[in-house]
Chain A
Amino acid sequence: MSLKSIVRELKEMRDGIGSMSRRGGGSDGRAGHGRAGSRHSWPGLWPEPQRQGQGQRQEGPQQQQGRWANLPPELLLDVIQRVEASEATWPARRQVVACAAVCRSWRDVTKEVVKTLEECGRITFPISLKQPGPRDHPVQCFVRRDRATSTYLLYLGLSPSLHGENDKLLLAARKVRRAARTSFVISLVSDDFTHSSSTYVGKLKPNFLGTKFTIFDSQPPPDAVVLPNNKPSKRKSKQVSPRLPLGNYNVTTVTYELTVLRNRGPRRMQCTMHSIPALCIQEGGKAPTPTGTIHSLDEQLSTLPASKGKEPAIEFSSTSLSADLSGPACTNEAPLVLKNKAPRWHEQLQCWCLNFRGRVTVASVKNFQLVASVDPSLNIPAVEQEKVILQFGKIGKDIFTMDYRYPLSAFQAFAICLTSFDTKPACE
Chain B
Amino acid sequence: MASAGESGDGADGKGVTTITIISSDNEAFEVLEAAASMSLTIRHLIEDGCADGGIPLPNVTAGILAKVLEYCSKHVAAVAASSEAGSSSNAADAAAAPEKEEDLASFDKAFIDVEQDTLYDLLMAANYLEVKGLLDLACQKVADMIKGKTPDAIRQTFKIKNDFSPEQEEKIREENQWAFE
Which residues from B are CB-within-8-Å of A1?
A: 28, 53-54
Which residues from B are CB-within-8-Å of A106?
A: 160
Answer yes or no: A275 CB below 8 A from chain B CBs.
no
By a beta-carbon cutoff of 8 Å, the part of chain B in contact with chain A is 3-5, 18, 20, 22, 24-30, 41-42, 44-45, 48, 50, 53-54, 56-64, 66-67, 70, 114-118, 120-121, 123-124, 127-128, 135, 139-140, 142-143, 146-151, 154-156, 158-168, 170-172, 174-181
Which residues from B are CB-within-8-Å of A107?
A: 164, 172
> Interface-forming stretch among A10-18, A239-247, A372-380, A381-389?
A10-18
CB distance from B132 to the nearest CB of A (A): 11
Which residues from A are CB-within-8-Å of B116?
A: 68
27 A-B contact pairs sorted by A residue (CB < 8 Å) = A4-B28, A17-B25, A23-B24, A24-B58, A28-B56, A34-B45, A34-B48, A35-B48, A44-B124, A53-B164, A59-B161, A64-B159, A72-B127, A82-B143, A94-B179, A97-B176, A99-B154, A101-B172, A103-B160, A103-B164, A125-B179, A126-B174, A126-B175, A189-B177, A198-B171, A199-B177, A296-B171
CB distance from B67 to the nearest CB of A (A): 7
Which residues from A are CB-within-8-Å of B164?
A: 53, 103-104, 107
Q: With contacts A17-B25, A79-B146 known, is A54 near B166, CB below 8 A?
A: yes
Answer yes or no: A166 CB below 8 A from chain B CBs.
no
Answer yes or no: A51 CB below 8 A from chain B CBs.
yes
A21 touches B61 (CB 8 A): yes
CB distance from B124 to the nearest CB of A (A): 6
Quick one: closest B residue to A55, CB to CB? B166
Quick one: closest B residue to A45, CB to CB? B59
A295 touches B165 (CB 8 A): no
B121 touches A28 (CB 8 A): no
Which residues from B are CB-within-8-Å of A293?
A: 171, 175
CA distance A367 to B180 in the complex (A): 31
CB distance from A44 to the nearest CB of B (A): 6
Quick one: closest B residue to A36, CB to CB? B41
CB distance from A83 to the nearest CB of B (A): 5
Q: A68-B160, A103-B162 are in contact. List 10 more A-B contacts (CB 8 A).
A: A5-B18, A14-B63, A18-B63, A20-B124, A24-B24, A28-B56, A44-B120, A63-B155, A86-B147, A95-B146
Answer yes or no: A320 CB below 8 A from chain B CBs.
no
Quick one: closest A residue to B151, CB to CB? A101
Q: Which of A2-52 contact B (CB under 8 A)?
A: 2-8, 10, 13-14, 16-21, 23-28, 30-31, 33-37, 40, 42, 44-45, 50-51
Q: With contacts A4-B28, A75-B127, A98-B179 known, is A17 near B63, CB below 8 A?
A: yes
- Point out the residue from B127, B155, B175 that lies within 8 Å of A103, measured CB to CB: B155
Which residues from B are CB-within-8-Å of A4?
A: 28
- Point out the residue from B24, B127, B166 that lies within 8 Å of A40, measured CB to CB: B127
- Point out the residue from B3, B60, B178, B180 that lies within 8 Å of A199, measured CB to CB: B178
Which residues from B are CB-within-8-Å of A169?
A: 181
A19 touches B56 (CB 8 A): no
Quick one: closest A residue to B11, CB to CB? A5
CA distance A293 to B172 in the complex (A): 9
A6 touches B29 (CB 8 A): yes
CA distance A107 to B168 in the complex (A): 11
Which residues from B are CB-within-8-Å of A424?
A: none
CB distance from A95 to the nearest CB of B (A): 6
Q: With contacts A21-B24, A65-B159, A75-B139 known, is A97 near B120, CB below 8 A?
A: no
CB distance from A153 to the nearest CB of B (A): 11
CB distance from A186 to the nearest CB of B (A): 13
Which residues from B are CB-within-8-Å of A99?
A: 146, 151, 154
Answer yes or no: A69 CB below 8 A from chain B CBs.
yes
Which residues from A are CB-within-8-Å of B5?
A: 3
Closest 5 CB pairs between A and B? A26-B56, A5-B30, A66-B159, A68-B158, A101-B151
B25 touches A14 (CB 8 A): no
A82 touches B140 (CB 8 A): yes
CA distance A14 to B4 in the complex (A): 26
CA distance A99 to B159 in the complex (A): 14
Q: With contacts A25-B24, A94-B179 known, is A42 near B139, CB below 8 A?
A: no
Q: With contacts A3-B5, A100-B172 known, is A51 near B146, CB below 8 A?
A: no
CA distance A2 to B27 in the complex (A): 9
Which residues from A are CB-within-8-Å of B48?
A: 34-35
B66 touches A8 (CB 8 A): yes
Which residues from B are CB-within-8-Å of A57?
A: 161-162
CB distance from A391 to the nearest CB of B (A): 25
CA distance A21 to B172 in the complex (A): 37
A13 touches B62 (CB 8 A): yes
B20 touches A5 (CB 8 A): yes
CB distance from B23 to the nearest CB of A (A): 8
A65 touches B161 (CB 8 A): yes
CB distance from A60 to the nearest CB of B (A): 9
CA distance A45 to B125 in the complex (A): 13
Answer yes or no: A67 CB below 8 A from chain B CBs.
yes
